[in-house]
Chain A
């Protein structure tokens, strides 16, 4: 059999299809998002009243560390990765990513890494040093148990996943675009994803090295963070934030990309200032590497360094502000359709701006010295991460769920989700501005009554419960719609880009024929040409070339319809079409399903986990586990590399 079956557990374990891997990322990341959310609920329950007694200090430390680490590395980044996987090949008119098996490998490493880190709860030693893990606090002298080892090794594992995925997507975007899809015609989501991949490639090695130093200090007794040996107490902070600040843009730019898809579609207008949106995305990323020390104003770097980092930080507000205004101008004068997806997108524009403005406030070192390590900072970064990243991702989920599943999410339940989230999010995080300015420090597990913090904390906690409750609507909506939702058809929203020209869910080969693209909005050229009159086109006799719209082959003069079948015209189909012609019938080379990337990932993770035993002074056992895993990993890697990706070409 050249092609595996398309159902059953085995097909999911062996899949190399970017759409199925994207679906796996989506559901895994949402599961971790629920776990991270549950940790947040416990934190808020502890802080609801003065002198809370729900959690002890040690468990509280583990709770906020795992909340931050989970949300950053196991929820938001992989939620973005779900969209990278699912959308990038569809948006550029490709049949898969450049390296399908490497893609599967990235997912499995992420899954096993996430499980590994959370196994720490079962030994009662979950990471407890904060998501930033400041050394020397995290060195052996001050953190002698396994907590930090789980964190260090877990992040190393997740770094492998992100880097492998980044090489893959960079190659895919550079090299696999359909004819006519030049860089300045790529959909904005693909553009922002492209920028993010460069951030990943350049930022992750730095934290890898910072973690290697910490790992060596803890396991082998090196001195990188040993102050008595002359080490610089700021080394970790510099290395961490050289990674950590670009990481902020790794978290937000994909959401910016998603709303840049949603807003034009539901405003029935092309994106305002497309080239400037591209350049401002690049500028944000470039400047993002030069501002890391604004996380460190309180350490006393001196006036010159403070001034430079402060100015660079404030500069970033310019390209970011450009984006905000361009989104507003996109909506301005548009024929706006307030779907749930659109509401989340508009919420991002407003809420991110609040977080952005408070960010400019503590870009000033003098203001920052008052605000640093207070709840004001917590309010700031939750406005950009929840109000920004998560609102954008929710907008993306409502927008693209029909493409993932073939079915619509319920707008009614979605409205409940949106309004409860919107109120809950503001009720949780807005009061934190005030508790912070009233002097409440971060990361404290108890506080005394009557310091002016009680009401704000009670409000934040009720908001957090509301937010948790709201998220249940999303879960219910997705589960309900996965099989029973209204059938979506190819293009339920009247959207402009290529992914909407093919059936939902797309057949495994995506495009029966590789499309030819003549403008930024290939589908609008066909369906609503009046919307794209101001958009540059290929000047070949004004010919709108070869885009397959909703099942009708348009242009190019070929007689064959879309061999993938599905509906015709704009009418809604009555059932999800899954009996497309197979890749074999169409003569499209498809990669073989394979289990090997899963095993390479599995043994890589067991190899890393073997290092926990070094710490427990079981050196013999540790070496046995590490060497066995390394050999198995290498064996499966060779088996993977030496087996053909797909049937021989003819």
Chain B
């Protein structure tokens, strides 16, 4: 380390686009993730209405198709609430990035400049969404829909489960940023690492909008 520190002018040439490498890479990653969710969503749509037994998402299942009469299983009001929570978390993410970028500037003294607050708030909303999902999954299991029950169960739990796993990674990422913020404080020169997390978070949010529309709203 000593000899390295003594060496002259350690400089990297500027990048070709002027963007940081990590920013380019996260966009490539998001492109890849689009194909991942596209495959999951198309499978769900292909298998829509093909289950031979209930419960079904939007239709009742009556004997003799099902042993007992089953109501449509999707609870749209509850999921609308959780969707709202996730959308709000994107807003908080924006505010967290703004707080990091403008730390120390006039007008960002109070809560507006508190990246700790906004990062934690985003993580809490993400965790709340996951709580809703856990509630939804357990109530479905109680109503007789598991991942093994029918095509709907398999494709629904896999699709939304994959999305939930992505939210979980995002929450851990936010908590990691929060921990870094607690230890040394995040300032304008850390804006990039928060920005990258934000891009991921917004992407996961956008995917949920697609899932909510295609799975829950369209009958």
A239-B39 in contact (CB<8A):
yes
B47-A232 in contact (CB<8A):
yes
Q: 1/0 contact trace for A278-319 toward B, CB 8 Å?
A: 000000000000000000000000000000000000000000
Residue of B nearest to A208 (CB): B36
The contact of A220 among B19, B21, B147, by CB within 8 Å, is B147
Within 8 A of B (CB), among A593-650: 638, 647-650
A176-B16 in contact (CB<8A):
yes
With a CB–CB cut-off of 8 A, which chain B residues contact A210? 39
- Give CA–CA (A51, B148) in the complex, Å: 44
A231-B151 in contact (CB<8A):
yes
The contact of B36 among A209, A222, A230, by CB within 8 Å, is A209
With a CB–CB cut-off of 8 A, which chain A residues contact B43? 209, 213, 224, 235, 239
B51-A229 in contact (CB<8A):
yes
With a CB–CB cut-off of 8 A, which chain B residues contact A176? 15-16, 21
Q: Is B197 an interface residue (CB 8 A)?
A: no
Nearest CB in chain A: distance from B5 CB, A: 7
Nearest CB in chain B: distance from A96 CB, A: 10
Within 8 A of A (CB), among B1-43: 1, 3-5, 7-13, 15-17, 19, 21, 24-25, 28-29, 31-33, 35-36, 39-40, 43
With a CB–CB cut-off of 8 A, which chain A residues contact B5? 647-648, 650
Q: 1/0 contact trace for A155-180 toward B, CB 8 Å?
A: 00000000100111011001111110
B11-A649 in contact (CB<8A):
yes
Given contacts A99-B21, A167-B29, A230-B50, is CB(A2)–CB(B39) below 8 Å?
A: no
Stretch in contact with the other chain, from A65-73, A421-429, A583-591:
A583-591
Q: Is A212 an interface residue (CB 8 A)?
A: yes
Q: 1/0 contact trace for B77-121 toward A, CB 8 Å?
A: 000000000000000000000000000000000000000000000
Q: Is B68 an interface residue (CB 8 A)?
A: no
With a CB–CB cut-off of 8 A, which chain B residues contact A329? none
- Give CA–CA (A232, B52) in the complex, Å: 12
With a CB–CB cut-off of 8 A, which chain A residues contact B10? 587-589, 647-650
- Give CA–CA (A435, B79) in the complex, Å: 60
The contact of B3 among A179, A204, A223, A584, by CB within 8 Å, is A584
B158-A167 in contact (CB<8A):
no
Given contacts A514-B13, A589-B11, A650-B10, is CB(A163)–CB(B32) below 8 Å?
A: yes
A201-B28 in contact (CB<8A):
yes
With a CB–CB cut-off of 8 A, which chain B residues contact A492? none
Given contacts A232-B46, A587-B7, A587-B8, is CB(A223)–CB(B39) below 8 Å?
A: no
Within 8 A of B (CB), among A544-584: 584
B15-A205 in contact (CB<8A):
no
Secondary structure dominating the interface of B: helix
Q: How many residues of A contact B (CB 8 A)?
A: 53
The contact of A585 among B7, B29, B47, by CB within 8 Å, is B7
Q: Is A531 an interface residue (CB 8 A)?
A: no
With a CB–CB cut-off of 8 A, which chain A residues contact B32? 163, 166-167, 201-202, 204-205
Q: Is A206 an interface residue (CB 8 A)?
A: yes
Q: Is A275 an interface residue (CB 8 A)?
A: no
The contact of B150 among A206, A223, A647, by CB within 8 Å, is A223
B52-A99 in contact (CB<8A):
no
Residue of A nearest to B36 (CB): A205
Nearest CB in chain B: distance from A163 CB, A: 6
- Give CA–CA (A204, B28) in the complex, Å: 13
Residue of B nearest to A182 (CB): B16
- Give CA–CA (A585, B9) in the complex, Å: 11
Q: Is A221 an interface residue (CB 8 A)?
A: yes
Q: Is A10 an interface residue (CB 8 A)?
A: no
Q: Is A263 an interface residue (CB 8 A)?
A: no
Nearest CB in chain A: distance from B10 CB, A: 4
Given contacts A167-B25, A167-B29, A584-B7, is CB(A221)–CB(B148) below 8 Å?
A: yes
- Give CA–CA (A222, B8) in the complex, Å: 61
- Give CA–CA (A648, B15) in the complex, Å: 18
B31-A202 in contact (CB<8A):
yes
Nearest CB in chain A: distance from B61 CB, A: 14
With a CB–CB cut-off of 8 A, which chain B residues contact A177? 16
With a CB–CB cut-off of 8 A, which chain B residues contact A584? 3-4, 7
- Give CA–CA (A176, B25) in the complex, Å: 12
Residue of B nearest to A225 (CB): B154
Q: Is B155 an interface residue (CB 8 A)?
A: yes
Residue of A nearest to B15 (CB): A175
- Give CA–CA (A231, B52) in the complex, Å: 9
Given contacts A171-B25, A201-B32, is CB(A587)–CB(B9) below 8 Å?
A: yes
- Give CA–CA (A576, B10) in the complex, Å: 28
B17-A174 in contact (CB<8A):
yes
Nearest CB in chain B: distance from A202 CB, A: 5
Given contacts A201-B32, A223-B150, A231-B151, is CB(A175)–CB(B39) below 8 Å?
A: no
Given contacts A205-B35, A206-B39, A216-B154, is CB(A171)–CB(B28) below 8 Å?
A: yes
Residue of A nearest to B193 (CB): A641
- Give CA–CA (A587, B8) in the complex, Å: 5
Given contacts A232-B46, A648-B5, is CB(A170)–CB(B24) below 8 Å?
A: yes
A171-B21 in contact (CB<8A):
yes
- Give CA–CA (A167, B25) in the complex, Å: 6
- Give CA–CA (A174, B28) in the complex, Å: 11
Most buried by A among B7, B12, B51: B7
Q: Is A81 an interface residue (CB 8 A)?
A: no
A-B contacts, 22 listed (Cβ < 8 Å): A98-B24, A99-B25, A170-B24, A171-B21, A171-B25, A174-B16, A177-B16, A201-B32, A202-B32, A205-B35, A209-B39, A209-B40, A212-B162, A213-B158, A221-B147, A224-B43, A224-B151, A231-B47, A239-B39, A648-B5, A649-B11, A650-B5
Footprint of A on B, CB under 8 Å?
1, 3-5, 7-13, 15-17, 19, 21, 24-25, 28-29, 31-33, 35-36, 39-40, 43, 46-47, 50-52, 147-148, 150-151, 153-155, 158, 162, 176
What 10 pairs between A and B have smallest CB-CB spacing? A2-B4, A205-B36, A209-B39, A222-B154, A205-B35, A647-B4, A587-B8, A98-B21, A221-B148, A175-B15
Sample of 5 more A-B contacts, CB < 8 Å, known A2-B1, A230-B51: A202-B35, A231-B151, A232-B47, A239-B43, A587-B10
